Amino acid sequence: MRTKIVGHGFFVPENIVTNFDLEKIMDTSNEWIVERSGIHERRFIVPDGDVSTSDLAVKASQKALEMAGLKADDIDLIIAATLSPDFFFPGIGVLIQSKLACKAIPAFDLRQQCCGFIYGLQMADLFIKSGVYKTILLVGAEVQSPGLDKTTRGRDISVLFGDGAGAFILQNSDDGSDILGSKLYSDGRYYDQLWLEYPLTKKTGRISCEDIEAGRHHPKMNGRNVFRHAITKIPEVVFEILKEHQLTVQDIAMVVPHQANQRITEAVAQRLGLPMEKVYSNIAKYGNTTAATVPIAFHEAWEAGLFKRGDLVVTTSFGSGFTWGANLIRY
Ligand SMILES: CC(C)(COP(=O)(O)OP(=O)(O)OC[C@H]1O[C@@H](n2cnc3c(N)ncnc32)[C@H](O)[C@@H]1OP(=O)(O)O)[C@@H](O)C(=O)NCCC(=O)NCCS
């Protein structure tokens, strides 16, 4: 059994928010954001409107289905990676199932933050190879924007994130395409280095007015620690998966990394010994869309002709948890 990515696609909200727009609401500058992160603009949903994470996921899924030449009814499992589900519960998997009008199938959420899609790809691959499911929809989708602290207090993290969704359709195939392997890791000692503490499950009412005033319902990050770990762990896991398959970086057509920060991507390319042309980056346009960065970047790199059927592609990520990992794909 082999696992083929038969379709992929993405969707981002139309609403573009530039660094200059952020300058108007917090003490930051276009220059600082571009220099430290490489981000020029990102997409935000219109807040308090009728579009949420599952809606972005559905649009991305429809594009992936279209490329695959399949219908929603062909899907027999949905895996949805997100840290920003429409509701605390249920997850977006079931909402996607209903909004796509799929038949009654299993659908679940994966809470692995920036690594959600990387984790989901291994799960989808193993489900296909075990023969349990034949057609899997794997989506990464996020609506981060309404939850960010868009004041000067939250500027170190809020300028980095954006909204978006990307999707893969996976099926068994015997034409040479395959997910050759995946390596996944976590180290929960660092759970509070990039996290959203509130609403807090054990707390009566989950959150108080004081918690909200103190901004505990906004994500928090120790940026330097995340940076340091990301530029170490990503190259490590990429080298590991290549070695396991007796390959070197020279065999790879494209590395599609999580889009967290241009400086992280450049450091990863340098440590891998690859030119930037072989390490895809679109962070300038979308910022960090968390679980959606990898499928969005994958689709864009393919659309730009940077890899084709038969080529080897590595997808890799690092994020909150800490979690990190890589997938080796014969596209
Ligand atoms: C967040 C990040 C860009 C900050 O860059 P940095 O060089 O570490 O900057 P620092 O946090 O040391 O802050 C430097 C200064 O800029 C200020 N600053 C922070 N955010 C700012 C902003 N948006 N605009 C202007 N100044 C800002 C800080 O207050 C600090 O000021 P000070 O020196 O007067 O105290 C960087 O740490 C990073 O990219 N980390 C990884 C983040 C990431 O990828 N997270 C997601 C992973 S999934």
Assess if CATH 3.40.47.10 describes domain 179-330. Answer: yes
C-beta separation of 124 from 1 below 8 A: no
Q: How confident is the model at residue 235 (pLDDT cuts 50, 70, 90)?
A: very high
Spacing, Cα 144 to ligand 1 middle (Å): 18
**What tokens does 13 get?**
């909200």
Give the pLDDT confidence of 99-110 residue by residue, as tens digits.
Answer: 999 999 999 999
Model confidence at 233, in pLDDT bands (50, 70, 90)?
very high
pLDDT digits (tens, 9 = 90+) for 68-84: 999 999 999 999 999 99
Confidence band, pLDDT 50/70/90 cuts, at residue 112? very high
**Predicted confidence band of residue 227 (pLDDT cuts 50, 70, 90):** very high
Q: Does domain 3-175 have CATH number 3.30.70.1140?
A: no
Nearest to 115 by CA among 123, 107, 125, 126: 123
d(CA 315, CA 305): 17
Per-residue confidence band for 135, with pLDDT thresholds at 50, 70 and 90: very high
Q: How many A from CA of 41 to the centre of ligand 1? A: 17
pLDDT band at 198 (very low <50, low <70, confident <90, very high): very high
Q: Are 162 and 286 in contact (CB under 8 A)?
A: yes
Pocket mutation for ligand 1, best pick of 36, 150, 153 (most atoms within 8 Å of C-beta): 36
Query: How many whole angstroms from 223 Cα to the centroid of ligand 1?
Result: 6
Name the nearest CA neighbour of 181 among 115, 125, 117: 125
Judge if 3-175 and 179-330 fold alike in CATH terms.
yes
114 included as an active-site residue: yes
Give the start-to-end residue ranges of the domains of the chain: 3-175, 179-330
